[in-house]
Amino acid sequence: MLEHTPIQSSGFSNIGPDEDRTGFCLRIRQPNYRGLRMSLVEGIKVVVDEIEYPAATNLYRLGERTYTFDELDAETQARWPVGTAIEVLVDKPGGLDVGVHLVEIEVLLRHPYFPPQFRPAPVHDRRHITIIR
């Protein structure tokens, strides 16, 4: 089972070969009480040590499939289930330094049963997590 906070520490890792990191990966547990069609997920903004990585430029990996921000809206069938984590893939040449980072996220979820002015609704989380290598 997953860590209780939406931000997962396990899985926080650099991407790419050791000498040529291209970015990093952050796992996020479905923070809503029901699994959502991907078209209801309006992206995830990531902030690491106060540097912002906007939702529109991140990639989202769910199982075998990787979505761009625009592709999320087109995916009206596949769902991000409760009790599972999505991987946010962030482009950052050189990757992140080994060590502890302050990571913040904003997940935007569109709940059709919320009044229009509350769509999308944000979910925030903030946690210190560690890059091992």
Partner 1 sequence: MTSHFQYGVSLYSYTDDFGTVMDLEDAFYHVSETGSTGIEILGETHLPAYPQLETAWLDRWFGLLDKYRLEPTNFASWIDTDIQRRRDMTVEEGARQLTTDLELASRLGFKFVRPKFGVIDEELTPHPIWEGCVERVLDLAAKLDIIIIPEIHSPTPIRHPVVEGYIDFIQRTGTKHFGLLIDTGIFQDRPLPFWQHETPEMRDGAMSFLNGIKVPVEQLAEVIEYTPFIQAKFHHIDEELHDHNIPWEKVIPALKSLGYSGYLSSEYEGKRDPWVAIEQVRRQHALIRKLEREWEQANPSKPKEQRDA
Task: Please report, as ranges, the residues that interact with partner 1 according to CB under 8 A.
Answer: 1-4, 29-30, 33-37, 39-40, 42, 73-74, 76, 79, 81-84, 110, 112-119, 122, 124
* Residue 46 to residue 53: CA distance in whole angstroms: 5
The least CB distance from residue 23 to partner 1, in Å, is 26
Q: Which is nearer to partner 1, 4 or 133 (CB)?
A: 4
The least CB distance from residue 126 to partner 1, in Å, is 11
Q: Which is nearer to partner 1, 16 or 31 (CB)?
A: 31
Q: Which is nearer to partner 1, 43 or 95 (CB)?
A: 43
CB 53 within 8 A of CB 103: no
Vertex 70, ends 54 and 50: CA angle to 5°? Answer: 5
Computed from CA positions of residues 44, 45, 47, 53, in that sequence, does the dihedral angle turn out positive or negative? Answer: positive
The least CB distance from residue 95 to partner 1, in Å, is 28
Query: Residue 56 carries which DSSP code?
Result: G
